[in-house]
Amino acid sequence: MQDYSVIKEKAFEEIEKATSSAQLVDLRVKYLGKTGEISLLMKNMKDIAPEERASFGKVVNELKTEVESKIQEKDTLLKEIEFKNKIKAESLDITLPGKKQETGNLHPLNIVKNQIIDAFTGMGFEVFEGPEIELDYYCFEALNIPKDHPARDMQDTFYVKDDIVLRPHTSPGQIRTMENKKPPIKILSPGRVYRADDDASHSPMFHQIEGLVVDKNVSLCDLKGLLNKFFKTIFDETTEIRLRPSYFPFTEPSVEVDVTCSKCHGKGCSLCKGTGWIEILGAGIVNKKVLENCGIDSNEYSALAFGLGIERITMIKYGITDIRTLFANNVKFLKQFERR
């Protein structure tokens, strides 16, 4: 009987002190398990006088029930606390401001490049990209600019080696295409070009797109019609173009193409220096010598070519006055071109 009350007191105290339901599992084993303290009491039954066995058994069973219900009671309480803590730990404060997913956007030069390519692929052009580090032969010689020819001064070339340069224009793309493809040819060759030149309207690295059409009876009329359609697409429907005589060794005749000023629509403003026209690209009918250099019979075929600067068109389109803005990587500037 003494054991009984000592065990009860100890069990109740330990159950009271338990701080987790896991501890209660251990206590249940300790007191009510097969070899638990209360179960062991039952095993003492044989030592008890027969007349006392019934009342002893009753008391031990009561003890068992009491400890069991005490554990149950405490377990319910602890489980409730544990549940509340779990909820608290996992809860979301839905009033907190969200974390904004920053998304990038295309660089304005890529936006305009894609628009230009779209306009021309819509007219049946294919895209061909040539190497940026290029042989002198493709940049000059094959384009009818021999060594020591004064026309080489038009491009302040970066030389890598005597016969290798950072291409100063995308025109070598014409040669590489004509060497590998039989007419009819209709290609665009976009890419980076390099010149030792640096001011508000020139950057040592910039982008051009070369255009080339080789077929039977290609004429200056085709060139004008093609560019007229293109500039109406890239600027707006009211845009007009005009051709002025010019000189490039790889074209004969050569022209400089102007577009009506996109800001004043030809009236005259600061952008077009009061003339209503803006010089936009160089073009012409490909010099017969260039066709022959590529093994194309210049009596059977003729070709038109043009080379435009992506920076120039981008600056006109968006009213950018300093080319360096395009390469400064100022995120505030670049974000303005985000598609909304």
Query: For binding to ligand DAH (CB under 6 A), which residues are involved?
Result: 169, 171, 210, 248, 251, 282-284, 305-307
- For 215, list phi and psi in degrees, rounded to 5: -165, -175
Asked if residues 190 and 117 have their Cβ atoms less than 8 Å apart, the reply is yes
**Token duo for residue 87:** 């909820």
Query: What is the closest distance, in whole angstroms, from the C-beta atom of residue 174 to ligand DAH in the complex?
Result: 6
How long is the chain?
A: 340
The burial class, CB within 10 Å (0-12 / 13-18 / 19+), for 288 is middle
Query: What is the closest distance, in whole angstroms, from the C-beta atom of residue 210 to ligand DAH in the complex?
Result: 6
Query: What is the closest distance, in whole angstroms, from the C-beta atom of residue 196 to ligand DAH in the complex?
Result: 14
Instruction: Write the single-letter amino acid at 276.
Output: G
Query: What is the closest distance, in whole angstroms, from the C-beta atom of residue 154 to ligand DAH in the complex?
Result: 7
Query: What is the closest distance, in whole angstroms, from the C-beta atom of residue 277 to ligand DAH in the complex?
Result: 18
Sheet containing strand 133-135, edge to edge, reads 133-135, 164-166, 158-161
Nearer to ligand DAH, 36 or 191 (CB): 191
Nearer to ligand DAH, 301 or 306 (CB): 306
Nearer to ligand DAH, 15 or 241 (CB): 241
Nearer to ligand DAH, 81 or 133 (CB): 133
Nearer to ligand DAH, 21 or 246 (CB): 246
| CA 42, chain centre distance (Å) | 77
Residue with tokens 């797109």: 209
Query: What is the closest distance, in whole angstroms, from the C-beta atom of residue 305 to ligand DAH in the complex?
Result: 3
Nearer to ligand DAH, 171 or 293 (CB): 171
Nearer to ligand DAH, 248 or 277 (CB): 248
Asked if residues 15 and 78 have their Cβ atoms less than 8 Å apart, the reply is no
**Distant-in-sequence, close-in-space partners of 212: CB < 8 Å, separation ≥ 6:** 173, 174, 177, 178, 185, 186, 187, 189, 286, 303, 304, 305
Query: What is the closest distance, in whole angstroms, from the C-beta atom of residue 99 to ligand DAH in the complex?
Result: 47
Closest CA to 317 of 340, 290, 336: 336
CA 224 vs CA 47, 218, 254, 284, 301: distances in Å = 121, 11, 12, 10, 18
